[in-house]
Chains A and B, each alone.
Chain A
């Protein structure tokens, strides 16, 4: 299985023997894999397979859940993210997250994007902040649609625009990794295509990990695919291989719709 990234220079996140628990229940079982910047990585698998839980271990999102516990080691650029030296707020700035349901703050479009850089002290001057907001909105492919109404509420945008606003918000703090948990599942096909195009454009600049239930979406946006089942990492490899010639029967059963 493709666990080690061949080009070490590309290695961003290195997970080894990671298990995650909710109370006594083991949701992720001994998962080891590498994530790089060169490739978009997709996590697929049936509901309850542990893919979202594993994704959330990558920026310690599960810390906030009572009874949640993580074992194993996850390194970001070689640094243990569960180590005592790790500042969780800084970690979440470096490893951003976009959720299934667009969740803009009930503030203006400008403030949604400016909030992160401001609290992280990235832009002491107004002009710099303006620059960050514009650049982030451009990268998220939203600038042309909102540049004349930055003062309007973020929640007044359409669902697809709200999701791109959330991506702009994630980008604004200049992260190294962007985790996306089913970012397009609540969007129509056109808004979905925009998000997918955006993922394609962001590839290489950020390490991108996307959890999706939509097999075709995983095939379209990712270059690496990891298949999870019952908390285990069953198969991890080149997306084209996984979708044309998976090596493990369980993977084949799932992606061809024979599972369960």
Chain B
């Protein structure tokens, strides 16, 4: 943080602190939902998956609350410079975190679809892939709370690993489908799961860009790879 101290109006610091805590809470929620969805997928836990789907509503409510707080902050405190960038970044970040929650929910919804399947080898790869994506979400939100641009940039660098996982899982599932057409439905579901995780990695990267903007006022350089 470039600034040297707290605001003269202490309540402003409290508002910003509460907002950061709320964003952090949302991130923890989304990260947990992703981890749980993957556990349910591996263990074929349909009931657990249902709880994730229902729990997503909580994330939507948190997003609405965060938006309300940010609008109020802008209206009542007229933030400028780093405070303004923080508020704008927070507004975008909560939208992205909500999307990440949606992806976790979407993964959970597919659990019943593969329930009867035997051991499908790429699932272990998926779990590892999701672990990286979840850690990206975790670290990038820490970076936001700590206003740490370097930490956010480090998160971006890990997105390549997620993309590599996606490519190899894509190939593995394709082979699986070609071996036996009966595998196609389940493999297609797993392919969507892989895609969802890959998108979560991209979203973590987007959050990292907002964190860098909030912390430094500069935009990160060219984004690696196009969205897909």
Q: Does residue B226 face the partner (Cβ distance < 8 Å to A)?
A: no
Is the Cβ of B3 less than 8 Å from the Cβ of A245? no
User: Which residue of chain A lies nearest to B78 when distances are taken between CB atoms in the complex?
Assistant: A216
The interface residues of chain A lying within 8 Å CB-to-CB of B83 are 256
Interface of B is mostly: loop
Is the Cβ of A244 less than 8 Å from the Cβ of B217? yes
Is the Cβ of B217 less than 8 Å from the Cβ of A258? no
**Complex alpha-carbon distance, A255 and B218, angstroms:** 19
**Contact of A245 with B5 at beta-carbon distance under 8 Å, contacts A216-B78, A255-B80, A257-B12 already known:** no
Q: Does residue A191 face the partner (Cβ distance < 8 Å to B)?
A: no
User: Which residue of chain A lies nearest to B216 when distances are taken between CB atoms in the complex?
Assistant: A245
Residue from the list B5, B78, B84, B85 in contact with A258, Cβ < 8 A: B5
Q: Does residue B8 face the partner (Cβ distance < 8 Å to A)?
A: yes
**Contact of A243 with B4 at beta-carbon distance under 8 Å, contacts A257-B9, A257-B12 already known:** no
**Contact of A258 with B80 at beta-carbon distance under 8 Å, contacts A244-B217, A245-B85, A245-B217 already known:** no
Contacts of A204-260 to chain B: CB distance below 8 A: 215-216, 219, 243-246, 249, 251-253, 255-260
The interface residues of chain B lying within 8 Å CB-to-CB of A258 are 3-8
- The count of chain A contact residues (Cβ–Cβ below 8 Å) is 17
Residue from the list B3, B84, B218 in contact with A253, Cβ < 8 A: B3
Is the Cβ of B217 less than 8 Å from the Cβ of A256? no
- The count of chain B contact residues (Cβ–Cβ below 8 Å) is 19
**Complex alpha-carbon distance, A249 and B78, angstroms:** 19
Residue from the list A216, A252, A259, A260 in contact with B81, Cβ < 8 A: A252
The interface residues of chain B lying within 8 Å CB-to-CB of A243 are 80-81, 84
Contacts of A124-147 to chain B: CB distance below 8 A: none
Contacts of B103-133 to chain A: CB distance below 8 A: none
**Contact of A249 with B85 at beta-carbon distance under 8 Å, contacts A243-B80, A260-B8 already known:** no
**Complex alpha-carbon distance, A257 and B4, angstroms:** 11
Is the Cβ of B2 less than 8 Å from the Cβ of A252? yes
The interface residues of chain A lying within 8 Å CB-to-CB of B82 are 252, 256
B218 → A minimal CB distance (Å): 8
Is the Cβ of B80 less than 8 Å from the Cβ of A259? no
**Complex alpha-carbon distance, A151 and B4, angstroms:** 56
The interface residues of chain B lying within 8 Å CB-to-CB of A251 are 81
Is the Cβ of A249 less than 8 Å from the Cβ of B4? yes
Most buried by B among A215, A249, A256, A259: A256
Contacts of B136-174 to chain A: CB distance below 8 A: none
Most buried by A among B79, B217, B218: B217
**Complex alpha-carbon distance, A253 and B6, angstroms:** 9
The interface residues of chain B lying within 8 Å CB-to-CB of A252 are 2-3, 81-82
Is the Cβ of A246 less than 8 Å from the Cβ of B8? no
The interface residues of chain A lying within 8 Å CB-to-CB of B81 are 243-246, 251-252, 255-256
B1-23 near A? 1/0 per residue, CB < 8 Å: 01111111100100000000000
A256 → B minimal CB distance (Å): 5
Can you name 5 A-B pairs with beta carbons within 8 Å?
Answer: A215-B80, A243-B81, A252-B2, A258-B5, A258-B8
**Chain A contact residues, CB within 8 Å of chain B:** 215-216, 219, 243-246, 249, 251-253, 255-260
Known pairs A249-B2, A256-B83. 4 more at Cβ < 8 A? A246-B81, A252-B3, A255-B80, A258-B6
Q: Nearest 7 CB-CB pairs, A to B?
A: A245-B217, A255-B80, A257-B7, A252-B81, A256-B83, A249-B2, A256-B81
